[in-house]
Amino acid sequence: MLNKTPVYVPQYKLDKSLTEEINLITDEMLANGLIEPSKSQYNSPVMFVRKRPTYTPEGTLIPAKLRLILDLRQVNIHSKIFNWPIPSVDSILQQLSGFKTFISSDLINGYYQTIVHPDSRKVLAFTLPTGKYQLTRMPMGHVNSAMIFTAAVSKALGHVLRPMAIPVTTTKDDDAMGGFESHAVLLVVLEAILKRMVKFNLKWKVSK
C-alpha cells in the first residue's frame, strides 16, 4: 500500500434470498482455508456473482454456484503497482505460429492457488452478516493480481521451458498454451510441466 491509512468502504446490501447459499459458501471457504476470521481495519464491499453452469466429462450438469468477489476499487487506488509483463494475444499467436501440435488448458481457480502473505491479508478484509473475514488467497479484481499470478506461474514453469525454448505462455486469465513440433515432443514437455506443477502444488483443469 502507498500509505498506512486503512481503506474502509461499507458493505453493500446483499440479496436476502441468497443468505443460506452465502453462508454455505462462507463455511466452505473457511474449511478450505481460502478465507479466515479478521480483525482488520480495512474493509471492501463483497458481492456474489453466479458462475456459469458447467458439465462433467460424462455430460452431467453441475449447478452454477455463487462466486465471492471483492470490490477493490478503492484499495487499488492506494496500492503500489507490481510491474510484470503480461503477454498480449498477438504476441502469443506469434510465438505459436509455425507449430503443428498445440496444448491449451487453465488452472483451477487460478488466482486462488496463489497464497497471500499473512502481512497483506488485512487489506483483503470484508464483512458478512456472520462476521468479518479476509482472503488468504489472491483475489480477482486487485490491480496487481494478473501480474503477480503471471510472475508466479512463470517462475514455476520457466525452469523447465527456458532451456528448450518452448513457447508455453500464461495469459492474464490463468490460461496456459503451448506449441510443439510433434506429438512426441508435446508428451515429453508435458511430463516435465506436470512434475513442476506437483512441486509447486498447481492444479490444472483436466476437463479442458
pLDDT tens readout for residues 40-75: 999 999 999 988 777 777 888 777 889 999 999 999
* From 6-15, 29-38, 122-131, 196-205, the region with the lowest mean pLDDT: 196-205
pLDDT at 117: 96
Q: Please state, rounded to an integer, the average pLDDT across all residues of the chain.
A: 84
* Inter-residue contact 48 to 66 (CB < 8 Å): yes
Helix, strand or coil for residue 15? coil
Please name the fold of domain 16-199: HIV Type 1 Reverse Transcriptase; Chain A, domain 1 (3.10.10)
Task: In whole angstroms, give the CA distance from residue 154 to residue 133.
Answer: 30
pLDDT at 173: 60
pLDDT at 32: 95
Lookup result for grid cell 477493490: 72
Main-chain dihedrals φ then ψ at residue 74, nearest 5 degrees: -70, -40
Alpha helices in 32-144 (DSSP H): 73-77, 89-96
pLDDT over 90 at 29, yes or no:
yes
Helix, strand or coil for residue 75? helix
Determine which helix (DSSP H) or strand (DSSP E) holds 145, and give its type and residue range: helix 145-161
Q: Given pLDDT bands bounded at 50, 70 and 90, which one contains residue 172?
A: very low
- Which is more confident, 169 or 41? 41
Strand segments (E) across the chain: 35-37, 46-50, 54-55, 61-62, 66-70, 101-106, 125-128, 131-135, 169-170, 175-180
pLDDT at 97: 79
pLDDT at 166: 52
* Inter-residue contact 23 to 58 (CB < 8 Å): no
Task: In whole angstroms, give the CA distance from residue 98 to residue 148.
Answer: 30
Q: Is 98 left (phi over 0), alpha (psi -120 to 50) or beta?
A: left
Lookup result for grid cell 498477438: 90
Q: How long, in residues, is the chain?
A: 208
